[in-house]
Amino acid sequence: MTVANSRRPSDVRVIGLISLAHGSSHFFHLVLPPMFPWLKDAFALSYAELGLLMSVFFVVSCIAQATSGFLVDRIGARPVLFSGIALLILAALTYSQSNGYAMLLMGAVIAGCGNGIFHPVDYTLINHKVSPPNLPYAYSMHGVTGYLGWAAAPAFMVAIAQFSDWRIAFLSAALLEACILTILWLNKSYLLDDVKERREQSHASTQAANPGSSPESAFAFLKLPAVWLCWIFFFFSMASTSSLQSFAPSALFNIYQIPIDVGSYYITLLALGSAGGVLFGGYLAAKLRAPERIVSSCLSITIVMCILLATGLVSPSIIPFIFCALGFGYGVVAPSRDLLVKAATPKGVSGRVYGIVYSGIDLGAAVGPFIFGFFMDAGLPKALFLGIAMFQLMIIPTVFKVSSRLSPKAV
């Protein structure tokens, strides 16, 4: 019996539990925005005030993500995971009992703190609990559940708010997250990582590279160019994705006269296409073991599609297919991207590396829509698709630079 086969039952359980947790974090990305119409009426808020709630959420999440990795490496991933989920439950309860804008802001801060722990925790557990042959599939399922969490949240929240009210919707979100915490707690033995072993790996790796050297600082990994190249990758990737999600319906209306509600449906197609792409991308990454070629090829295709949308010459009848294809391309990239990050991560410091690298996601989500909002206000909707194409073009060199710094066996 091979190693991969002997560990497969454990791998499946670990992948399922971590993916469930990851899906719940993405679910909480979108529990607040669907409630904006209700909150606007309840507290007489402006759209700027409502938008600030999401900015606060992502900025706090960025800071929490960058710092929680150190905590993961010190005390282990499992207690940090349970703490993060507990914070999401507390955030939903805070939203449900809000009596004004201040409490909503408090809920956004708490939710940001809870959300910020997931990538350092998830990838530390995946990399240490899943056998190497199954890693591409683990990354694939991890990504799919994130997209499914995004897709489920608006439908869940709006349906409950329509049948009852917005407070019950937030309470229901808290109850759902509590159920997920219970499932993870009942399976906690599968989520235990050996912190001591990881520290020994880090020390052994340092000694192998520099025999006789003293232990490195906890921040020594920040000197690695590959870490910051991966951070740039995530920043521009999420800046382009979040900008497309935020403004594509309005841009399509201005360029192609496609109704806003129809354009919003295209964003759903984007998410579903991404979910399918992640599944295929996991298979592709496992078979080809050439992440830089996969990433650059897919991004080249999505760049061309964005430029075509910017021309204003595309037939509206094929735009839904373009959005499906865009999402599929983004999804295919994800597992290969995660393999590159793993290959660039020194042994024993995965928590802090993933915390720093994936903080680029939150910062990109906060900065991208802010930048393109000015173009939209200026009446330049085509600049949205051209800018997104430029962001994706800037990602491709980072992939090859990261790959060039790794040994052939690393990826």
Q: Compute, in degrees rounded to 10, the torsion defined by CA atoms 352, 354, 359, 365.
A: -170
Per-residue model confidence (pLDDT) at position 176: 97
pLDDT band at 363 (very low <50, low <70, confident <90, very high): confident
CATH number, domain 220-406? 1.20.1250.20
Domains 12-196 and 220-406 are alike in CATH topology: yes
**Total residues belonging to the chain:** 411
User: Is 285:336 a contact under the CB 8 Å cutoff?
Assistant: yes
Per-residue model confidence (pLDDT) at position 348: 65
Q: Is the dihedral of CA 242, 243, 247, 251 positive or negative?
A: negative
Q: Where are the domains of the chain?
A: 12-196, 220-406
Instruction: State yes or no: pLDDT of 4 exceeds 50.
Output: no
CA atoms within 13 A on the CB side of 356: 24
Closest CA to 116 of 52, 71, 147, 170: 71
pLDDT tens figures, 270-324: 888 888 998 898 888 888 777 788 888 999 999 999 999 999 999 999 999 999 9
CATH topology of domain 12-196: Growth Hormone; Chain: A; (1.20.1250)
pLDDT tens figures, 143-156: 889 888 887 888 89
Per-residue model confidence (pLDDT) at position 209: 47
Average pLDDT over residues 112-128: 91
Q: String of b and e for 208-220 (b: at least 16 CB within 10 Å)?
A: eeeeeeeebeeee
User: Is 172:95 a contact under the CB 8 Å cutoff?
Assistant: no
Return d(Cα 231, Cα 208) in angstroms, integer.
Answer: 26
